[in-house]
A and B are shown apart, each in its own frame.
Chain A
Amino acid sequence: MIEWYPVFLKEMLHFKRKLLRMGYIFSAMMAPIIYLITFGVGLGRTVRLSEGNDYLTFLLPGLVAMSSMNNSYSWVASSLNLSRIYFKTFQVYIQSPVKPFSIMIGEVLAGMVKGLFASLLIIVVGFLVPSKFSINLIFVVTLLLNCFMFASLGVITGMITKSHEDTATYSNFFIMPMAFFSGTFFSIDRIPAIFKPMIYIMPLTHTNILIRKTFIDIEGLISLIVIIFYCFCFFIIGSNLMKKYSE
């Protein structure tokens, strides 16, 4: 049997139970829908885009990227943090003959499913509202990589935080700024040059660049390489944290 499967299965059993609670689906959709209405339908009417696209068409891929980031990241970070510190269920993995690498894969895949599910809800809404929103292969690959990258980052947070409150702190410092300044709601071209190096360090910036591409140009290629680099780094760091785990 594949070693990561029981880790993934356990998370999916939890996810299935959460899905059965109607409130969960609505809560997963709530933030992106609010953004869609506020920025897309409300403020979006006053926004002019240089590419000639309407604002909703610009906004929807960004919302998908943001939603996949939030859900992949927070699912894994919270779940790991709670299971490690409060419920002690993480001990079961550590005391089982399963390699840390396999635990990492199971956790990341579970986070990806959660991120993809939340993204799917936005995609469905995207096709229902009047826009030129469409999906291509680059969009799908970017979405998958984004979920992988942020689920891996979630593992790092889940492993290093010392309390559940810390998870929220990390989220406020890293995830929240990314959601607003990485090109989700407006093009990063509008950001003052002095801040641009910082913006280009943020992983979500590259997701937002790549997810809106219809073909891979130089800019897209650089973003793809950066995303793969982050995926690799986060995954290795997360695996090592699991390997070195000691209470």
Chain B
Amino acid sequence: MIRLESISKSYGKVKAVDSLSFEIKKGEIFGLLGPNGAGKTTTVKILTTLTKPDKGACYIDEIDVVSNPFEIKKIIGVVPQENNLERELTVYENLMVYGMLHKVRNLKNRIDEALLTMDLQDKKNSVVSNLSGGLQRRTLLARALLPQPKVLFLDEPSIGLDPHIRRELWQIIRGIKAHGRTVLLTTHYIEEAEALCDRVGILSHGKLIALGSPQELKKQIGEYVVEFMDYEGKLFSEICRSREEAYEIAKKRGDGVTIRRSNLEDVFVKLTGERIKQQ
């Protein structure tokens, strides 16, 4: 459904995206995971026609994004990282203007459906700036889904949201996948990528350093992690291939050792020596 072929983009001397290539299958939730500045948003901006790449080619539904952006805009929906709703307008007005821009047929019915899906019916006439962060995110999602796009781009969809609202949002995203849409989401939340994504691409300094399902990636580095602290209270961890191996290491270390399952953060640390969250 989405194909990137050696996409590169620089801003001055900074290489935001460096020879990026991957494919996303139809109906899959694909996550781009990486710290801030890894090139996730730039990739989304290129695929959503907001930015032109310096090199390479990319296709959505076999349509060339660079040479035919107008056709691309007809089949995509975007929820940007930064809230770009018209804050002084109501939820309904925001959806109406967006629907008109996308030439949505039976617009009033479609707006009502979108409001119902996102549980926003009673906020229809509320001015956006008066809504909570979670409700504004839901409005952004309702807006993006209005033209029933084939591909939905979610750039850091749950950034700044409370944990329980984040989980609510995850349910909505799973529902979107259930309708057969392809979803590309960027995130720097490990739990989000693990909870939602069928496959994940890990980005570091604009390069793709790992690609696969969260389970595959964790299996590649080892499924268990032994964590322990030194005398100064500094946390160390060791990744193990099996539970037995982890027990052996834990035994040698003695007290204050914990064994847990590995996560995508461990994958990132193993591959780059850096952490996602700290950056």
Query: B-contacting residues of A (Cβ < 8 Å)?
Result: 1, 5-7, 9-10, 13-14, 17, 87-89, 91-99, 246-247
Kindly name the residue among B49, B76, B80 whose own CB sees the greatest number of chain A CB atoms within 10 A. Answer: B49
Instruction: Name 11 extra pairs, CB < 8 A, besides A9-B96, A89-B85.
Output: A5-B100, A10-B97, A17-B89, A88-B84, A89-B84, A91-B50, A91-B80, A95-B50, A96-B73, A96-B98, A246-B52
- From A93, A246, A247, give the contact of B101 (CB < 8 A): A93
Assembled-state Cα–Cα distance A93/B88 (Å)? 17
Assembled-state Cα–Cα distance A109/B188 (Å)? 42
When distances are taken between beta carbons in the complex, the residues of chain A under 8 Å from B88 are: 14, 17
When distances are taken between beta carbons in the complex, the residues of chain B under 8 Å from A14 are: 86, 88-89
Is B87 an interface residue, CB under 8 A from the partner?
A: yes
| Pair B84/A87 contact, Cβ less than 8 Å | yes
Is B78 an interface residue, CB under 8 A from the partner?
A: yes
Assembled-state Cα–Cα distance A5/B97 (Å)? 9
When distances are taken between beta carbons in the complex, the residues of chain B under 8 Å from A92 are: 84, 98, 101
Interface flags for B82-125 (1: CB within 8 Å of A; 0: not) read: 10111111000100111011110000000000000000000000
| Pair A247/B102 contact, Cβ less than 8 Å | no
When distances are taken between beta carbons in the complex, the residues of chain A under 8 Å from B25 are: none
Q: Which residues in chain B, 250-273, are within 8 Å of chain A measured between CB atoms?
A: none
Is B26 an interface residue, CB under 8 A from the partner?
A: no
Is B219 an interface residue, CB under 8 A from the partner?
A: no
| Pair A247/B51 contact, Cβ less than 8 Å | yes
Given contacts A6-B100, A14-B86, A14-B88, contact A97 B73 (CB under 8 A): yes
Assembled-state Cα–Cα distance A138/B225 (Å)? 82
| Pair B48/A95 contact, Cβ less than 8 Å | yes
- Chain B: number of interface residues, binned into ranges: 20 to 34
| Pair B101/A88 contact, Cβ less than 8 Å | no
Assembled-state Cα–Cα distance A211/B49 (Å)? 44
Assembled-state Cα–Cα distance A6/B100 (Å)? 6
When distances are taken between beta carbons in the complex, the residues of chain A under 8 Å from B84 are: 87-89, 91-92
When distances are taken between beta carbons in the complex, the residues of chain B under 8 Å from A91 are: 50, 78, 80, 84
- From B76, B100, B103, give the contact of A9 (CB < 8 A): B100
Smallest CB separation, B106 vs chain A (Å): 13
When distances are taken between beta carbons in the complex, the residues of chain A under 8 Å from B98 are: 6, 92, 96
Is B70 an interface residue, CB under 8 A from the partner?
A: yes
Is B45 an interface residue, CB under 8 A from the partner?
A: yes
When distances are taken between beta carbons in the complex, the residues of chain A under 8 Å from B89 are: 10, 13-14, 17
Is B277 an interface residue, CB under 8 A from the partner?
A: no
Is B74 an interface residue, CB under 8 A from the partner?
A: yes
| Pair B101/A94 contact, Cβ less than 8 Å | no
| Pair B50/A97 contact, Cβ less than 8 Å | no
| Pair A247/B97 contact, Cβ less than 8 Å | no
| Pair A246/B50 contact, Cβ less than 8 Å | yes
Smallest CB separation, B151 vs chain A (Å): 12
| Pair B103/A1 contact, Cβ less than 8 Å | yes
Assembled-state Cα–Cα distance A247/B49 (Å)? 9
When distances are taken between beta carbons in the complex, the residues of chain B under 8 Å from A99 are: 70
Assembled-state Cα–Cα distance A97/B93 (Å)? 19
Given contacts A5-B100, A246-B52, contact A95 B73 (CB under 8 A): yes
Nearest CB to that of A98 among chain B residues?
B101
| Pair A96/B50 contact, Cβ less than 8 Å | no
Smallest CB separation, B91 vs chain A (Å): 13
Assembled-state Cα–Cα distance A1/B98 (Å)? 13
For the complex of A and B, 3 pairs with smallest distance between CB atoms: A6-B100, A96-B101, A88-B84
Assembled-state Cα–Cα distance A247/B89 (Å)? 25
Kindly name the residue among B48, B82, B101 whose own CB sees the greatest number of chain A CB atoms within 10 A. Answer: B101
When distances are taken between beta carbons in the complex, the residues of chain A under 8 Å from B101 are: 6-7, 92-93, 96-98
Given contacts A10-B97, A13-B93, A246-B51, contact A89 B86 (CB under 8 A): yes
